[in-house]
Structure 1
């Protein structure tokens, strides 16, 4: 089906007529499934039969030979109309629409945490891959981008490592923009919503000839913010602006050659992070009036420049298809963070990233229709990533650091008894200055290379419909870390004795000031090789019904925790300071006649023990290993009741090793990734779409995941060994679910309106444990969302509501510096949008 070949009148008069209080939603004569369209009734078939998205929207992929529902994997496809009806404007809005997929909406566009089937990532490498128009997005800092001209989203669950390699052990998200060869015209969209949210986008699609077509898109969005920071005059903390555009050009110089060029740019300027204080981790409420409130004094925010470009080249030979996919990504961003998230002046951090990535995939695959279908190829990328991450301790932070050292020393200092008199040592060591900046510059280049092959043998052993798929990928990755971090400072030390009774203070070591400098500079490197096999057996009852069983392996890259240097530096600062303290104190005590030799030896032992410095193995302290998993899955794709119902089901068992877990460093200075031994995930998922009548459609999905640690023993903050075996993996919801309905009211005798479409959906997740101890969790919750639309020709006006019941729930909880923090889900929001096509 091709779009844009019939003349369609503009929508200007319709928009003016309905603007006064009318309720409407979107309707395009797009090539989308009849089951999901809200197009005029004339465009809908008389039968209630469902149609697959790929039956109408044909999108070429370089690696696959069959449509998604004909492959031995669990997947979900969403058309543009699906996304519009469900308010999907970014990757974070997919939660509840795809079973066992959880992407919490918190933080900034820097943070895109994707969890699937018991695995996921808050920082560093992702567990789910992302491709846009067949171009890989290597860095998850770029995953959250604008969806203004997106035509379709595919979500593949389970390891996709054989064909797609690293960081697809949980699955793969594929996103496609509209093709200017199959869609022409100019789309204009204007939107407004509560909390001062405004959007505007314009897209033009033009087919100049049978050989060349192009599209151009521009967008702008403003968010007024929905959370207030009481420490900054109740200003909106999460406000922001973004703008950008996309250009795409397709050239067909020959009948068997296609060049597809894409270029996308976005600028984002976001406010801070709505993290509210929940109290001390111990359970004591030190500030009752601050519980549940956002209160941090330093301005925070995130700015990002993101440029993506790519060239897809496809050559059709007699017996195979050759594809070359070249990608380039440039990301430059800055995050400002009040890292203690309180009104206290403890410490702040600035993180600047400058990333450039170039990738190349060269793929050969057989043409469809043969008993032996195969795909083989090579791929590689190189990423340059420079990070500046200075941390600045401020007034309260220095007091905190000094308090830890002084408290530790005074705790162990022995009293001196002299008859009825007792003297207690008073230890004082102060880092001078109002601030202590710690520099941090890091370069972490990564390069990766892979070779892969996958074969499918159809009608195996002569049994029609039976097929076997076997594949293997050899993936090599090499990491480098160049680091330059440290600080210079002064500290002043004094020791006195407090005599009781009498409360008299005696000076034992006069105040002395020491100049110190501590820096870490060096280079580390590490490499590893991964084998990623896949075996799948599938039986096709017909073109729309099949069952399958799959065994596959995926892995997530390892890397370096650059924030671990904060812990290393803090420990070294304490030992260096105590070395100065020990040198002068032991000499002074030797000359003190009132102090016994026994006490002198005891104090000397304490000071020498506190001043001992352990040579740090930087590689061991900062490196985290790759995570990998084996996935065992059975499932079925079915079409029932004469094509009126589509149902997909799957059950899986996933065994994960070296699971990567995000946690705050022992010092509280930032998050790090650690390997948490082994975990096991068992679950099932189901999705169904039923077209009851030509006008009435129902859909639903459900995912169940039981993910627990099976071998995870570590140390707590006190250094004591603790086992988390049997505990649930944090951030993984046990249940994800969604249910929706659509009804199209046809208006055959109305001159100014074609139809009214009503959409409603309810989606949610839970229970979600936020900590490895499983002592804090979010119970099962759901949000009710809806949309009412009026459609006329190429025009639409829509009124929508998100979180209609204003449900309260946590999108994240974390602990740092013995304090707990949370971000609440976004409150109810109502909006209206106007769309027209010229």
Structure 2
């Protein structure tokens, strides 16, 4: 082993590798990932490509070849999937088929080892020991409920019963990027196996704050994972998974955007912004296999504690800042019962529930320019009177404390009837009933010291004005989520299907609206009233969607070719759209009345020869508002923002195998082109990112139990924007990361 590692180190100057130890070496045959890696899913009786649903499966080798190192790396690798890489780990906005979410509850669900991750703040985590990713497109509400309206991402970690030994990974890249991970997999006996590992990631940052003259997006993160699997009897499995991650991240690299020239300036603002996160996840899977049935229990716990410091105006002016602190605990429990034979009736039924405690402190501090802004509003409100009120404070904190517990419960059933009328034809029907209850106890208060003047002469002394908004709001609702699917299987590898399904995204509260309400109290003329209640201002409704789909999964050319195609129409009601609040101090969610998206997607994998393989995926989505008027403008027929019309990935791999005289076992050359666009950033459709594409490549060398990967991302240094927003009548954008080079070293002991 030492000899192999020494040879790898000597070869580092000129070669590299993708380690193919986990995938069969016969490259002429397209590998069936679901056969190679057996994944236990408590809700399904069939392999994913045998189901009437549009899906993509990524093996560990697929992730390495496409340089998927986090959730945000999946953009365009999966058709019609877009995850803009901006902000911090607090923000993981996922868009599929015309629906998505920038803030609050997600529209696309995430499950890790069958345990739901309820909050987007927990989505962006380290992928050091990930074995496989499944992406299901279209509503998955019947089996998965809330937050699976656009689709579902399922992540699976490596099983210590499948993998043995110790994996060591070291990586270095330009812009001071370094990472290391080590994981040990050990089978103690035929009944017990465990894995334990740790990682550390460091990034020096890609962008500089021109005003502070320092890197703005540097980051540190470290953590680890333990997984233990115990098989006390032949038909019982106990699977425990615990992970922890700490992150210290800079942000946010937003620069002024010029609509005339289309240029984005370097970030330049005066208040340093940061994001800190502590994330603990634990899951316990119990599975009992009886005669003709399987009973499963999945218990989950998530603890998230984070702090965000943000210069909200992103300029050199001292307007306002926010310090947001969250403490969240979530428990979830699901019981599923499935059974049936492959030739007759297959079914699954279950009940689930969750409870989430979320406490948030989010004080907004008005600085010098912000106080001047409020002073201007006051002067304008009293312009017709001889009275003037002068603010005496240099700064003013607006304190916000929010307690938002949420609970939900569901019961569901799905049946598949095979051999319907004739062999190969099957019908799937399902129904889920979801109940959700949410509350908010809020307390927002501020004090402003003022002096009143009458015709220029002071009246009385200094007045301490106390502004307070507090109270409690509550909402609950029921929703039914049906599914119907008809599939015809030509054989066990080729099928065509049609499906109709419904999904939803839960409603909630806009906590950042309280600063606006306090400001209205301050600037309103004495004696004036507002007709809108607090609940009307802060609440937004659930979002619903029906998806109509026609698709096919094909395995052709004696297993050397995989093809997956689908066409869809998605009709969305009460679509949730993220906008800045009227004061532009915070973000808020509003409901668009009606939107519709239609399009298609296709994925292709083929091994043309023993040495050459190709893959491509393409997605098209046409998403527009059918009915949406927010009171300031009518957006009918406008494109829904943040939805790329097209996503595209084209890749190829060429393999050179070593012989008995070679110092290497295998060298692979991998290149791919990935792109997305056109993406409109606003409801007005007045700012957009045209279609862009990046070239990425790897040269991969394996020597025994060691490997080296030499890689480049955005090799042609393509310039484009990953995000855009407007605040204080200004536009801001985040640029894409520039060209990078790096090297990875992996060894197995």
TM-score range, shorter chain: over 0.9
Which residue of 2 is the match for residue 39 of structure 1? Answer: none
Which residue of 2 is the match for residue 826 of structure 1? Answer: 737
Residues 224-243 of structure 1 aligned to structure 2 (within 5 Å): 224-232=204-212, 234-243=213-222
Q: What is the Cα deviation at residue 493 of structure 1?
A: 3.0
Distance 2:3 2:32 in 1: 30
Deviations 1:760-810 (A, max 9, x none): 010010000000000000000011100001111211111100000111111
Q: What is the Cα deviation at residue 495 of structure 1?
A: 4.7
Which residues of structure 1 form unaligned runs of 5+? 1-7, 35-42, 414-424, 497-506, 580-610, 717-721
Structure 1 residue 624 corresponds to structure 2 residue 606: no
Which residue of 2 is the match for residue 499 of structure 1? Answer: none
Distance 2:8 2:17 in 1: 12
Q: What is the Cα deviation at residue 631 of structure 1?
A: 0.2
Query: 2:630 aligns to what SS in structure 1?
Result: strand
Distance 2:67 2:216 in 1: 23
> 384, 392, 400: which is aligned to 2:373?
400
8 Å Cα contact 2:381-2:523 kept in structure 1: no
Structure 1 residue 83 corresponds to structure 2 residue 76: no
Distance 1:791 1:238 in 2: 34
Q: What is the Cα deviation at residue 572 of structure 1?
A: 1.1
Distance 1:50 1:367 in 2: 30
Which residues of structure 2 form unaligned runs of 5+? none
Which residue of 2 is the match for residue 13 of structure 1? Answer: 6
Distance 1:193 1:682 in 2: 40
> 350, 353, 361: which is aligned to 1:388?
361
Which residue of 2 is the match for residue 680 of structure 1? Answer: 596
Deviations 1:176-221 (A, max 9, x none): 0100001101000000000000000001000010000000110001
Distance 1:364 1:486 in 2: 50
> 294, 313, 320: which is aligned to 2:267?
294
Distance 1:647 1:488 in 2: 64
Which residue of 1 is the match for residue 245 of structure 2? Answer: 266
Which residue of 2 is the match for residue 492 of structure 1? Answer: 451
Structure 1 residue 276 corresponds to structure 2 residue 255: yes
- TM-score, normalization by structure 1: 0.88
Which residue of 1 is the match for residue 652 of structure 2? Answer: 741
Residues 588-603 of structure 1 aligned to structure 2 (within 5 Å): none
Which residue of 2 is the match for residue 438 of structure 1? Answer: 398
The 1:127/1:100 distance shift into structure 2, 3 A limit, reads same
> 117, 122, 133: which is aligned to 1:142?
122
Which residue of 1 is the match for residue 303 of structure 2? Answer: 330
Q: What is the Cα deviation at residue 514 of structure 1?
A: 2.6
Q: What is the Cα deviation at residue 13 of structure 1?
A: 2.4
Query: Over aligned residue pairs, what C-alpha RMSD do you find?
Result: 1.6
Deviations 1:286-330 (A, max 9, x none): xx9x96121111111100000000100000001200000000000
Distance 2:3 2:734 in 1: 44
Query: 2:537 aligns to what SS in structure 1?
Result: helix
Deviations 1:518-558 (A, max 9, x none): 11121111001010000000000011110000000000000
8 Å Cα contact 2:451-2:459 kept in structure 1: no
8 Å Cα contact 1:227-1:236 kept in structure 2: yes
Q: Greater helix share, 1 or 2?
A: 1
Which residue of 2 is the match for residue 670 of structure 1? Answer: 586
> 639, 659, 670: which is aligned to 2:575?
659
Distance 1:430 1:554 in 2: 52
8 Å Cα contact 2:264-2:735 kept in structure 1: no
Q: What is the Cα deviation at residue 368 of structure 1?
A: 4.7
Distance 2:81 2:355 in 1: 29
Distance 1:528 1:9 in 2: 62
Which residue of 1 is the match for residue 726 of structure 2? Answer: 815
Distance 1:81 1:766 in 2: 27
> 674, 679, 701: which is aligned to 1:768?
679
Q: What is the Cα deviation at residue 374 of structure 1?
A: 0.1
Q: What is the Cα deviation at residue 513 of structure 1?
A: 3.6
Query: 1:693 aligns to what SS in structure 2?
Result: coil
> Which range is displaced more, 370-379 or 510-519?
510-519
Q: What is the Cα deviation at residue 409 of structure 1?
A: 4.1
Structure 1 residue 650 corresponds to structure 2 residue 566: yes
The 1:428/1:230 distance shift into structure 2, 3 A limit, reads farther
Q: What is the Cα deviation at residue 613 of structure 1?
A: 2.0
Residues 28-39 of structure 1 aligned to structure 2 (within 5 Å): 28-30=20-22, 32=23, 34=24
Which residue of 1 is the match for residue 156 of structure 2? Answer: 176
Query: 2:64 aligns to what SS in structure 1?
Result: helix
- TM-score, normalization by structure 2: 0.98
Structure 1 residue 249 corresponds to structure 2 residue 228: yes
Distance 1:208 1:653 in 2: 51
> 323, 339, 344: which is aligned to 1:350?
323
Distance 2:343 2:360 in 1: 50
Distance 1:771 1:67 in 2: 40
Q: What is the Cα deviation at residue 86 of structure 1?
A: 1.3
Aligned residues: 749
Which residue of 2 is the match for residue 456 of structure 1? Answer: 416
Q: What is the Cα deviation at residue 15 of structure 1?
A: 2.4
Deviations 1:445-475 (A, max 9, x none): 00000000000000102x0000000000000
Q: What is the Cα deviation at residue 9 of structure 1?
A: 8.3
8 Å Cα contact 1:26-1:795 kept in structure 2: no
Residues 497-508 of structure 1 aligned to structure 2 (within 5 Å): 507=456
Which residue of 2 is the match for residue 697 of structure 1? Answer: 613
Which residue of 1 is the match for residue 195 of structure 2? Answer: 215
Query: 1:84 aligns to what SS in structure 2?
Result: helix
Query: 1:546 aligns to what SS in structure 2?
Result: strand
8 Å Cα contact 1:697-1:742 kept in structure 2: yes
Q: What is the Cα deviation at residue 509 of structure 1?
A: 6.4
Q: What is the Cα deviation at residue 246 of structure 1?
A: 0.3
Distance 1:263 1:130 in 2: 16
Which residue of 2 is the match for residue 474 of structure 1? Answer: 433
Which is greater in Rg?
A: 1
Residues 530-541 of structure 1 aligned to structure 2 (within 5 Å): 530-541=479-490
Structure 1 residue 554 corresponds to structure 2 residue 503: yes
Which residue of 1 is the match for residue 472 of structure 2? Answer: 523
Q: Greater strand share, 1 or 2?
A: 2
Residues 573-612 of structure 1 aligned to structure 2 (within 5 Å): 573-575=522-524, 578-579=525-526, 611-612=527-528
Which residue of 1 is the match for residue 407 of structure 2? Answer: 447
